[in-house]
Every structure is written in C-alpha cells, then in structure tokens.
Structure 1
Amino acid sequence: MSGFIDHRSRSQDLFNAMGSMYAATLFLGVQNSSSVQPVVAVERTVFCRERAARMYSAIPYAFGQVVIEIPYVFVQAAFYGIIVYAMIGFEWTTAKFFWYFFIMYFTLLYFTFYSMMTMAVTPNQNVASIVAAFFYAVWNLLSGFIDARPKQHIPIRWRWYYWACPVAWTLYGLVASQFGDLQNKLSDDENVQQFLGRYFGFEHDFLGVVAAIIVAWPVIFAFMFALAIKAFNFQKR
C-alpha cells in the first residue's frame, strides 16, 4: 500500500492517498457514533429518573459524559494513528505525524460528541440514528471528496455548507498537512503543492485555521449536548 505514497509522480497517487484517509475517517467516525448512542440512551433514562428525584443536575452530568470520552478517544486515535500511519507509508517526521494524530483525534471526538448530541435532542435511539445517518450522508456528499473538486462542482446555493461541513475540514487538514508542502514534480510538470492549491484549494499555510476549526467542532457538539440534556426531558411517567 505504501507504494503510491513513496512515488508521488502522478496526481492519481494523491487521489489514492486522499481516498484512503477519507474512507478511514468516515468509517471510524460513524462507528464511534453508532457505538455511543445506545450507551447514552440507557444512561439518559437513568439520569432523567434521578433528576426527577433531585439527585443529579444536567450540567455536571453532561460534563461527566463528555470528559469520560476524551481519554478513550485519545487511546483509540493513538493506536489507529501509529498503525495506519506506518502502513500507508506517510513521511516520518515529527510535525507530520503530530498533525495526523491531532486531526484524527479531534475528528473522532466530534463524531462521538455529535452522536451524543443527536441522542440528547431526540426522544429515543431509533430517531437519533435516523437523524445522525441523514447528516452523515450530507457530510459525505458535500465534504469535497465525492466530486473531487468541491468549490467548482457544488452548487452555489450549497457551497456555504462545504465550509460548514466538519468532514470537509478534516479532509483539508489531513491532505494539506501531509502533502501541502511537497515540491515533488507531477507528470504534468506541476509540483504537489501547486496541484493541491489549484485543484482543491488546499493550502499548507492555512493549517492553523483548519486546526482551530477542527478543535471547535467537538466543543460545539459537546456544548449543544449539555444544553439539550438540560432543556429536553423525553421521559414518560
């Protein structure tokens, strides 16, 4: 598998690498979400009962639910990052590995917290799964990978959603951090950095902004989870 990374002489090599990162991101993210929803569903039922007895309050409960996921996802991202980074054959530099781990960690976090949020704003797990699946499909469609030229091919009225799509920022960060500074010449006499900037609009110098936004997504979803837990009570007497 590492061959297409070691020999970046064609644009297709970049598409292959991009596809491997994107598929793994979406698969792991959805898997995280699917595994969290039933746990939150059961614990929310217990929480609503105990809150009615004035044993718990919403914000400390939500805070505990969010915090307990942080080390778990960290371990998951560490195992995944080390194994997959070596298998795919990315360049072994401290900076590039840090970027890969950083982006994957917060990506898995926002998928997890997004799933918790959908569970908190819906009456049961079945509805939460439907709501979550709808947005997974939209994220997949408008993330910039399916059409391969996001800004050019996405209709203007939907182009704003490309920038509001968490997976689009993950893809931007992964590709730009690994390949955005490469000067390797492609077969069309254009180097990798120039190709990514022209074709995808990915700029290595924009990574700081990308990192800030990727960190913001799990914070937003965790905050909305806490608000929903406090505001909604679907428990039937």
Structure 2
Amino acid sequence: MDVGKFFLFYYFILMCFMYFTLYGMMLVALTPNHQFAAIVMSFFLSFWNLFSGFLIPRTEIPIWWRWYYWASPVAWTINGLVTSQVGDKDDPVVIPGELPMAVKAYLETHLGFRYDFLPVVVAAHIGWVLLFLFVFAYGIKFLNFQRR
C-alpha cells in the first residue's frame, strides 16, 4: 500500500459523505417539509443503489438505462474506490470458467473500470458536491414554504 492510494481512498470516502450530506440539505431546502424530502430521498437512493454498478455491473445494465449509471454519484464512488485501490494491479485473478487474467484487465472487461479514467472520477466527485451545494444555496435563498 502506498500513500497515494491511502489519500485517494480517504478522498473518495470524504467526498461521498459530503455529497450525501449536501444532497439531504438540498432536498430539505427544495421541499416544503422533511417528510416529503424523505420520500424523495428514498426514491432516488433506491435508484442510485440499483444502478451504482454494485448489484448490476455497468457492462450488464441495458443500454437504455446506462445513462442512469452515469447520473448516480454512488457509481462514481464505487468506480473511484475500486479503481484507485486495485486498478493498476497486474496480478493474475482466476475466474471459474475463464482463463486467468490480470486484475486490471478484469476490471476493464467485466466492470468497465479503467485506471486512466481516475482523474475524471476525482473531478466528478467535486462536481457532485458543487451541484448539490449550489442547488441547496439556491433553495435556501429563493424558496420559501412558510405560510402566514
């Protein structure tokens, strides 16, 4: 294990916590009450988890649903965590029924994770945090659900 992998792991976990926190704040700012925000949050979290690439790999998601994989912040986090930690390994992995291949090749062919795509994944996390932050700020500034 090297220092770069440790800091990338820490970065992805920290950014995941940040975008989930800001997502919750954004929903509370955009909805009239916290009950409605919880309903909206559970709807989107279900789809984020379903299309994150954990249950169904991106390569096996139907092409007409693949856009939702890219619209899921959880997918970006899983991609970043897996790729940053083992995406550069050339160690062989044995999959039953297939020829042995390098971990790097397995990640590319079966999961669609490429190590050279890692800077984009890092930038995408900043994008998700900024998106949720600015929409939250807009909601706090311009939306008012109080009744007098």
Q: TM-score range by the shorter chain?
A: over 0.9
Distance 1:155 1:200 in 2: 14
* Structure 2 residue matching 1:234: 3-state secondary structure: coil
TM-score (norm 2): 0.94
Give the one of 100, 122, 128 matched to 1:211: 122
Distance 1:155 1:185 in 2: 29
1:36-90, Cα deviation, whole Å (9 max, x unpaired):
xxxxxxxxxxxxxxxxxxxxxxxxxxxxxxxxxxxxxxxxxxxxxxxxxxxxxxx
**Hey, what does 2:144 align to over in structure 1?**
233
1:188-207, Cα deviation, whole Å (9 max, x unpaired):
32010111011111111111
* Structure 2 residue matching 1:182: 3-state secondary structure: coil
**Hey, what does 1:167 align to over in structure 2?**
74
Distance 2:116 2:66 in 1: 22
Question: Structure 1 residue 95: deviation in Å?
Answer: 0.7
1:154-187, Cα deviation, whole Å (9 max, x unpaired):
2222211111110000000000000100111112
Q: Aligned pair in 2 of structure 1 residues 189, 101: CA closer, same or farther (>3 Å)?
A: same
Question: Structure 1 residue 230: deviation in Å?
Answer: 1.7
1:134-158, Cα deviation, whole Å (9 max, x unpaired):
11001011111112x2232x22222
**Hey, what does 2:7 align to over in structure 1?**
98
* Structure 1 residue matching 2:74: 3-state secondary structure: helix
Question: Structure 1 residue 93: deviation in Å?
Answer: 1.1
Q: Aligned pair 1:121/2:30, yes or no?
A: yes
Q: Aligned pair 1:142/2:20, yes or no?
A: no
* Structure 1 residue matching 2:92: 3-state secondary structure: coil
Rg bigger for which structure?
A: 1
**Hey, what does 1:78 align to over in structure 2?**
none
**Hey, what does 1:196 align to over in structure 2?**
107
* Structure 1 residue matching 2:129: 3-state secondary structure: helix
Q: Aligned pair 1:155/2:62, yes or no?
A: yes
Calculate percent identity across the aligned residue pairs.
47
* Structure 1 residue matching 2:76: 3-state secondary structure: helix
* Structure 2 residue matching 1:233: 3-state secondary structure: coil
Which amino acid in 1 is paired with 2:108?
G
Computed over aligned residues only, the root mean square deviation of the Cα atoms, in angstroms, reads 1.0
Distance 2:32 2:77 in 1: 30
5+ residue gaps, structure 1: 1-91
* Structure 2 residue matching 1:225: 3-state secondary structure: helix
TM-score (norm 1): 0.59
> Are the equivalent residues in 1 in contact too, given 2:59–2:110 (CA < 8 A)?
no
Kindly report structure 1 stretches of 4+ aligned residues shifted beyond 6 Å.
Answer: none
Distance 2:21 2:90 in 1: 36
Which amino acid in 1 is paired with 2:118?
L
User: Which structure carries more helix by proportion?
Assistant: 1
Question: Structure 1 residue 125: deviation in Å?
Answer: 0.7
Distance 1:210 1:104 in 2: 13
